[in-house]
């Protein structure tokens, strides 16, 4: 599995009603410095219906980007049980997920 596929594997672990951050996914890859790379992988996502990249937000709970537009990201988040107000996740700390099952592939390089 290459790094892009592994990143998608991690993001698919985020349960319904929860979100995570670019940095948390990068940490699960093994290096928090890869946050921007995680953002690029999310942007390249070929199918937002099977890979829930909409669940990845910024570390302050603001939404970040989304290839299909912010309105669609908000719609998807709300359908997943996540409240959004003024461009931020409501109760961000409560819905934040970082309990990834990982073998930290970047640490093996």
Q: Calculate what percentage of the chain has a pLDDT beyond 70.
A: 100
Measured CA distances, 85 to 2, 26, 103 (Å): 36, 26, 35
Q: Which of 11, 53, 57, 77 is catalytic?
A: 53
Q: What is the pLDDT of residue 21?
A: 97
State both tokens at 34.
């890869």
Say which CATH class 3-94 falls into: mainly alpha
Active-site residue, 53 included: yes
- How many C-alpha atoms does 35 have within 13 Å on its Cβ side? 12
**Average pLDDT of the residues in 34-41:** 93
Residues forming a β-bridge with 83: none
Element (H, E) at 38: helix 35-44
Q: What is the pLDDT of residue 47?
A: 85
């Amino acid at each position: 599995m290459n790094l892009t596929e592994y990143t998608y594997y991690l993001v698919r672990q985020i349960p319904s009603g929860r979100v995570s951050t670019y940095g948390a996914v990068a940490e699960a890859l093994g290096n928090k410095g890869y946050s921007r790379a995680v953002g690029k992988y999310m942007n390249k996502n070929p199918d937002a219906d099977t890979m829930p990249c909409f669940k990845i937000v910024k570390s302050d709970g603001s939404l970040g980007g989304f290839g299909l537009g912010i309105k669609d990201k908000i719609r998807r988040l709300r359908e997943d049980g996540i409240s959004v107000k003024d461009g931020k996740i409501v109760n961000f700390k409560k819905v934040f997920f970082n309990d990834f099952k990982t073998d930290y592939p970047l640490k093996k390089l």
